[in-house]
Structure 1
Amino acid sequence: MRDTIRFLRNGRIVELADFGPTETLLDYLRLREGAVGTKEGCNEGDCGACTVAIGTSEGGRMVYRPVNACIQFVGMMDGKEIVTVEDLAEGEDLHPVQAAMVDLHGSQCGFCTPGIVMSLFTLYHADAEPTRRTITDWLAGNLCRCTGYRPIVDAAKAACAGPADDKFSAEAGATTGLLDFLADRRDIFVGDDERFFAAPRTVDGLADLYARHPDATLVAGATDVGLWVTKQMRSLPKIIHLGRVLGMDRVEDAGNAVLIGAAATYDEVAPHMAAIDPDLGEVFRRIGSKHVRSAGTVGGNVANGSPIGDTPPMLIALGAAVELRLGDDSRVLPVESYFIDYGKQDRRPGEFVAGLLVPKLAEDQVFRAYKISKRFDQDISAIMSAFRFTLDGGVITEARVAFGGMAATPKRAAATEAKLVGARPGQAGSWTPALEALAEDFRPIGDMRASAEYRLETARALLAKALVETAGAPTSMTRVVGHREIEATAHG
């Protein structure tokens, strides 16, 4: 066991033992290092002013991802490289991303600029063609109130057009070597039994530690738990980080299903979901921002049981199962059975979500998913809907309908599903009773995102849209394409 964390800063190994369980990376950088180029804005992972790049060694190559330093705990940085805006320039020579931002007038007040530069730094090092759509997706987590995004996008297109050619690419071999050296197989435990940060290396080690400390808080990407600290001011004296558990980040194609480890991030899972159905890929693209998808996990989205989480309704509609582990014992249950009531899940003290099993679609099945939110990018759902229909000769023989934001938990619409059996998607009259049955399944509440009446009427409209599309209506007639997407097509 190790009682320190170790990470890379400017090619130097930093070993840290004196840190609190929930000390954020932002506080470490600004208050300890004095690296104040990383700004504190919203302090909840929305504005991107605190963006830093986190480097990992993957298959012998360096991969850089943007994260929100304000909601990442410094203990989670073990075995990684941390790059901030201060690290980019070489003397008086700006990094290509910084130079492009200057040359193309991408900054005015400058407060958001360091975070934007760091997001573009990760794009600069990514294996991605810098189309307008790719750039806007990459920048969706960086808000700028005074410059406007056109010159920023222009700077991204200019700087990221070719292969990476900076000191980081030149030193990639040495950096991967150092990170591989840091990737030992020891558990981390910093603190004592009353207050600690722990990062087990094996699933058995995690199970044993959590069984002994069932009052600890499990953290994977901290995109939710981080806000418990920065916004709710909760004291979390015991933190168990899942990010070092070997194999827990696996995403495996098992033939008729996809196996997802509880520590696999949205970005890692997204291609596998898009392969099941394009709607899954599109919803994953709109979950949070690139920063959130780089750190947040599907397992965490399920484990924390939010009634407005984006993935649970889709998983429920697909018939997914969740694996739970307590000590040496494991059990599997349908995802919809995991959610009991608001803030309450079928999870015993010391029991944790180990993974998910997501079935693929059969040849006779159709899937649709729609996210309704006030803002297209990086917004919480007002309604999340998902539908899977099994058809035989144009007749629905089985239906799975699930919604988020309509009840205290993500929930199946049992009465609606029963009314859909025997209906023909091409005959609206046959499924009208199913639309009415939604009022039996749900009694939504009104809040700042949507009124109860809006939610119920929109749920009916989304079910109707899914049926109309299943009947063969082209999505060009049923889905609104915004100016953003038109521009992406025109300039892509």
Structure 2
Amino acid sequence: RLLAGGTDLALEVTQFHRELPVMIYVGHIESMKRVEVTAEHIEIGAATSLSDCYAALAEEYPDFGELLHRFASLQIRNQGTLGGNIGNASPIGDAPPLLIALGAQIVLRKGNETRNLPIEDYFLDYKVTARQEAEFIEKILVPRAQHNQAFRAYKVSKRLDDDISAVCAAFNLRIEDGVVQDARIAFGGMAAIPKRAAACEAALLGSAWYPAVIERACAALAEDFTPLSDFRASKEYRLLIAQNLLRKFFLELQAPEVETRVTAYV
């Protein structure tokens, strides 16, 4: 097992009383802790702590920065890594829905061989990923923001701070002359994996940015997801919240002067 932050791996001991196998610590490998901003991407080493990711991501995408403020606790953000939040393949990880909506890629490495994979293709099923034997996540490539891009992210949880999402949503749209030209919408907490809302996106693409279209896209979310009920939220509540977050996104773009950038909580 590769270990960088270890904030999730430690739970296997404290909660499940498992004996961990031999581990290799990668938290001191400088090339995996580097954040570089190029003309096309923000390149983030997989062992970079969430705190060290903050400046670059918040500068490019303010809503990503807002969500990182609510990511667990300060101690966890200082220790936990962006690569680990992806690699553990949790359906309620906060970063993956945002990265999926942004069209991010991960670089998987095995020896001297690397391959780039869209992050949405990394998650196959609950805790099942496309990572092959002996591969590890080396870095994350987040596309730079475009001038005509509208990106928002929202986290719904029972507490504002230090809590796990019931639903996490990310919307990334390109609207030109009042028509939706491109749409990437992703959710966490709505399925066994963080995933895109394909039917919702299809309902928006090529359509005018009007309330009736938003309602059609909200209805399409019921085709994209059949969420489960658990102690965080019922399936009905999760679907309604997902729909309401799309409505919230629409209202914020319509009236930016009253926009609230603070993510939602119950």
TM-score (norm 2): 0.96
Displacement after TM superposition at 1:264 (Å) = 0.3
The letter for the 2-side match of 1:336 is E
Contact 1:323-1:331 at 8 Å conserved across structures: yes
Q: 164, 185, 189: which is aligned to 1:405?
A: 189
Provide Cα deviations, 1:106-148, integer angstroms capped at 9, x if missing partner. Answer: xxxxxxxxxxxxxxxxxxxxxxxxxxxxxxxxxxxxxxxxxxx
- Where structure 1 has 5 or more consecutive residues not aligned to the other structure, the ranges are 1-216, 483-492
Task: Pick closer, same or farther for the CA change 1:234–1:481 going to 2, 3 Å.
Answer: closer
Instruction: Report whether the alignment pairs 1:364 with 2:151.
Output: no
Displacement after TM superposition at 1:294 (Å) = 0.4
Q: 203, 210, 213: which is aligned to 1:419?
A: 203
User: Which residue of structure 2 lines up, in the alignment, with residue 4 of structure 1?
Assistant: none
Contact 1:469-1:478 at 8 Å conserved across structures: no
User: Which residue of structure 1 lines up, in the alignment, with residue 86 of structure 2?
Assistant: 302
Displacement after TM superposition at 1:246 (Å) = 2.8
Contact 1:424-1:431 at 8 Å conserved across structures: no
Contact 1:465-1:478 at 8 Å conserved across structures: no
Provide Cα deviations, 1:366-386, integer angstroms capped at 9, x if missing partner. Answer: 000000000110000000000
User: Which residue of structure 2 lines up, in the alignment, with residue 375 of structure 1?
Assistant: 159
Displacement after TM superposition at 1:250 (Å) = 0.4
Q: 72, 78, 83: which is aligned to 1:288?
A: 72
- Where structure 2 has 5 or more consecutive residues not aligned to the other structure, the ranges are none
Identical aligned residues as a percent: 46
Contact 2:63-2:261 at 8 Å conserved across structures: no
In terms of mean alpha carbon deviation, does 473-482 or 276-285 score higher?
473-482
Q: Aligned partners of 2:19, 2:264: CA distance in 1, in Å?
A: 44
Q: Aligned partners of 1:422, 1:466: CA distance in 2, in Å?
A: 18
Task: Pick closer, same or farther for the CA change 1:478–1:275 going to 2, 3 Å.
Answer: closer
Contact 2:252-2:259 at 8 Å conserved across structures: no
Contact 1:298-1:311 at 8 Å conserved across structures: yes
Q: Aligned partners of 2:139, 2:42: CA distance in 1, in Å?
A: 11
Contact 1:314-1:369 at 8 Å conserved across structures: yes
The letter for the 2-side match of 1:459 is A
Contact 2:27-2:47 at 8 Å conserved across structures: yes
Aligned residue for 1:431, secondary structure, equals helix
When Rg is computed on C-alpha atoms for both structures, the one with the higher figure is 1
Q: Aligned partners of 1:464, 1:272: CA distance in 2, in Å?
A: 28
Q: Aligned partners of 2:115, 2:207: CA distance in 1, in Å?
A: 36
User: Which residue of structure 2 lines up, in the alignment, with residue 466 of structure 1?
Assistant: 249
Aligned residue for 1:247, secondary structure, equals helix
Instruction: Report whether the alignment pairs 1:273 with 2:53.
Output: no
The letter for the 1-side match of 2:173 is F
Contact 1:384-1:405 at 8 Å conserved across structures: yes
The letter for the 2-side match of 1:220 is A
Q: Aligned partners of 2:59, 2:28: CA distance in 1, in Å?
A: 27
User: Which residue of structure 2 lines up, in the alignment, with residue 395 of structure 1?
Assistant: 179
Provide Cα deviations, 1:131-181, integer angstroms capped at 9, x if missing partner. Answer: xxxxxxxxxxxxxxxxxxxxxxxxxxxxxxxxxxxxxxxxxxxxxxxxxxx
Instruction: Report whether the alignment pairs 1:226 with 2:10.
Output: yes
User: Which residue of structure 1 lines up, in the alignment, with residue 99 of structure 2?
Assistant: 315
**Number of paired residues?**
265
User: Which residue of structure 2 lines up, in the alignment, with residue 244 of structure 1?
Assistant: 28
The letter for the 2-side match of 1:314 is L
CA RMSD of aligned residues (A): 1.6
Aligned residue for 1:347, secondary structure, equals coil
Q: Aligned partners of 2:263, 2:51: CA distance in 1, in Å?
A: 25
Provide Cα deviations, 1:193-231, integer angstroms capped at 9, x if missing partner. Answer: xxxxxxxxxxxxxxxxxxxxxxxx111111100111111
Task: Pick closer, same or farther for the CA change 1:334–1:257 going to 2, 3 Å.
Answer: same
Contact 1:307-1:410 at 8 Å conserved across structures: yes
User: Which residue of structure 2 lines up, in the alignment, with residue 451 of structure 1?
Assistant: 234
Q: Aligned partners of 1:454, 1:305: CA distance in 2, in Å?
A: 23
Displacement after TM superposition at 1:454 (Å) = 0.2
In the TM superposition, 1:154-169 aligns within 5 A as none
The letter for the 2-side match of 1:455 is R
Displacement after TM superposition at 1:473 (Å) = 4.2
User: Which residue of structure 2 lines up, in the alignment, with residue 490 of structure 1?
Assistant: none
Displacement after TM superposition at 1:431 (Å) = 2.2
Instruction: Report whether the alignment pairs 1:430 with 2:213.
Output: yes
TM-score (norm 1): 0.52
The letter for the 2-side match of 1:237 is P
User: Which residue of structure 2 lines up, in the alignment, with residue 384 of structure 1?
Assistant: 168
Displacement after TM superposition at 1:361 (Å) = 1.6
Task: Pick closer, same or farther for the CA change 1:407–1:480 going to 2, 3 Å.
Answer: closer
User: Which residue of structure 2 lines up, in the alignment, with residue 185 of structure 1?
Assistant: none
Displacement after TM superposition at 1:269 (Å) = 0.3
Q: Aligned partners of 1:440, 1:480: CA distance in 2, in Å?
A: 25
Q: Aligned partners of 1:468, 1:276: CA distance in 2, in Å?
A: 22
Contact 1:323-1:354 at 8 Å conserved across structures: yes
